[in-house]
Amino acid sequence: MTTLDVPAVVDPSDAPRDDFVMRFDPAAIKHLGLQMYSTLPPVIAELVANAWDAGASNVHIEVPDGHLNDESRIVVTDDGDGMDDTDVREAYLIVGRDRRRDEKADRRKTPPLRKVMGRKGIGKFAGFGIARQVEIESVKNGHVSRFLMDYELMEKAVETREVRFPPLGPTGTVTKGTKVTLKQIGKFRTRSIDIAGLRRGLARRFSVIDSNFTVSVNSVPITAAERDLTRLLEVDADGERYLWTYENIEIAPGTGWRVSGWIGALDRTSKLEDGIQRGIVVMARGKLVQEPFVFNATVGQQYALSYIIGELHAEFVDEAEDSVGTTRNSLVWDTEPNSAFHRWGEREINTIAREWAARRSRDNEKNLKQNESYRRFVDATKDMENQRARKVADKLIRDVVNRNVVAKPQETDEIVQLCIDFLEYDAFWDLAEDLTEARVEDTGRLAQLFREWEVVEAKEMARVTQGRITTIEKLQKLIEDNALEVPVLHDFLKQFPWVLDPRWQLVADELRYSKILRDNFPEGTEVPEKDRRIDFLCVRESDTLVVVEIKRPHSVVSMNELGQIEQYVHFMRHHIRSATDGDYSAKKVVGYLLCGRVANSYGPTEKVQSLHKDDIHVRFYSDLLGMVQRTHADFLQRYNELRRLKEDRSN
């Protein structure tokens, strides 16, 4: 129960009441509700904005803790002015009503005197972005108006373009203000509502949340600290935050278009609070009117944009002319004031990015002196005979650290350790000297230096390739033995998935999906031992889930086995599409059947070709070694060419 849940109010009128009527375009409801509001924070934000406009001092938001079901409710209650039947009929249910025009002013007429946030009269539809029913109960001067807006009824009113909502009796839980209840919520059935994320989203969407306007989520008020993102900003080597502030800055002389607020750079080394979006929000009338963005800036220090956040207040974007988009979370940039604002913001971002990079470079230089790895380098090289090599290596360390303004401490440790390990080799410090002296404009010299490193990298990759071929030869022995040691073969393929497809260098073993397949497709005992599969193997490459069914090396597959792998892949595709697990975002499911050979007849041969078009492939054990050798043949040839080129240059 919230502080607004009180004994029932008796409606003073016992006379029959007419239905509440809304006239609308059904397509508009779909676009303004289901499609524009698909996540919880903006949905709730619209209801909070309505409470502000109604003069509320307190808004209570109740959200379920845990997975939702058919009985779950999300409730937003305020203690504002409320509405009687006349207000509902002549104002609330008018689609597209311009509240500011109707009131002929942009402020309330009675305390608290506020600029209203709403303008287009479409916020009432926000709830349909996540729910099928929105119940309104409002009390004004003791009169209760309660009705249920049902999206299904609104969908059916395509021809009449009119829907009627019968008045309902009071629940007795509201004495003043409005209570909005979202019902039949389609989301959050397999995952819980991120309450912390909802709090952060609301905190960043409203600058008016304070002691005079409190917003609570499950009885816990949102605090000023939750709005203060400057606490996340990085601190430089001198103890100063990476923060740029603006106080009533006129963005174009003589226009009166003024901006206040701040822009800062996040700490690049610490883990950010989950859900904090990079970019700058724009506020007007105390509410977000532009989602986080960076004014489409394209700067030389492009990586700086990944760290920039901020909050700018620009009242002129939401004054006489409506230059805020329909969703109320993005600006229309082709108006004269907004275009000037965009140009100003782009210039500021460019300046901040350059200043940020310069400060980061100075910080790196100062921090390097305190780095333990660098201190070890200094101690290890202070008495070495070849002082020229030491100076070259030291200069290389400083240059690399200063140029890489987003380097983490461990990256500095790596370059320092590299210098310590290879300092004794003449070739290393000669190359280090070339790198530190090379100018970016000297493209010919840089190309030559990169060629040196290309040879080194090619040599290392050739060694890896040779190791792979050795691994394949071990697999060949398992194949010849018909994989009598089943766990060995299964574990081998898990460890070296690239033998199935050379592109699979780094993949993740998805044990839970392997288990799903085993649970849904258990292998019957009637399958002969020689034909049984070894196991399922599910791996993930980027956003692709790969389902591999492993047969024995001497197995012969027929239409039955080919149909099975097709069934497994189609099952997993359906499972992925219907899953809502945010930790897994596979966009594609492909399949592989690993076997000895396919039965030599018309049906299986045609089936293999059909499966291939459906991203389901058949691999033979006997082909694996040759496939990998062919795949790497071009690379080995390229390495030999580079080696000969280096020898010719040396001569």
Tokens of 596: 């000895």
**What does the pLDDT average to over 494-521?**
70
Residue 634's pLDDT band (boundaries 50, 70, 90)? low
**pLDDT tens readout for residues 266-284:** 876 555 555 677 889 999 9
Among the residue ranges 32-46, 119-133, 257-271, the one predicted with the least confidence is 32-46
H runs (alpha helix) in 282-386:
336-368, 372-381
Q: Are 78 and 59 in contact (CB under 8 A)?
A: yes
pLDDT at 521: 83
Long-range contacts of 48-51 (CB under 8 A, 24+ apart): 48/76, 48/202, 48/205, 48/206, 48/215, 49/117, 49/118, 49/123, 49/287, 49/328, 50/78, 50/118, 50/123, 50/124, 50/178, 51/76, 51/78, 51/80, 51/177, 51/178
Phi, psi of 33 (to 5 degrees): -115, -70
Peptide bond into 64 cis (omega under 30): no
Q: How confident is the model at residue 378 (pLDDT cuts 50, 70, 90)?
A: confident
pLDDT digits (tens, 9 = 90+) for 224-253: 888 888 988 988 888 899 999 999 999 999
The CA-based diameter of the chain, rounded to the nearest angstrom, is: 107
Judged against a pLDDT cut of 70, whether residue 385 lies above it is answered with yes
State the average pLDDT for the chain: 78
Judged against a pLDDT cut of 80, whether residue 423 lies above it is answered with no
Task: Tell if the pTM clears 0.85, that is, is over it.
Answer: no
Q: What is the per-residue pLDDT across 49-94, written as a single tens digit (0 to 9) for each?
A: 999 999 999 999 999 998 899 999 999 999 999 999 999 998 888 8
Contact assessment for residue 321 and residue 335, using Cβ atoms and an 8 Å cutoff: yes
Return the pLDDT at 125: 82
Q: What is the C-alpha separation between 416 and 410, in angstroms, rounded?
A: 10
pLDDT > 70 in the chain, percent: 70
Tracing tokens 């071990």 back to the chain, one arrives at 474
Instruction: Give the pLDDT score at 487.
Output: 65
The dihedrals phi and psi of 140, each to the nearest 5 degrees, come to -140, 125
Lowest mean pLDDT among 34-48, 70-84, 241-255, 407-421: 407-421
pLDDT at 206 over 90: yes
CA-nearest of 277, 30, 273, 19 to 154 is 30
**Average pLDDT, integer, range 201-211:** 91
Specify the DSSP element, H or E, that contains 543.
Answer: none
Q: Whose CA is closest to 170, among 54, 82, 66, 107?
A: 82
> pLDDT tens across 473-499, in order?
677 777 777 655 456 767 777 777 777
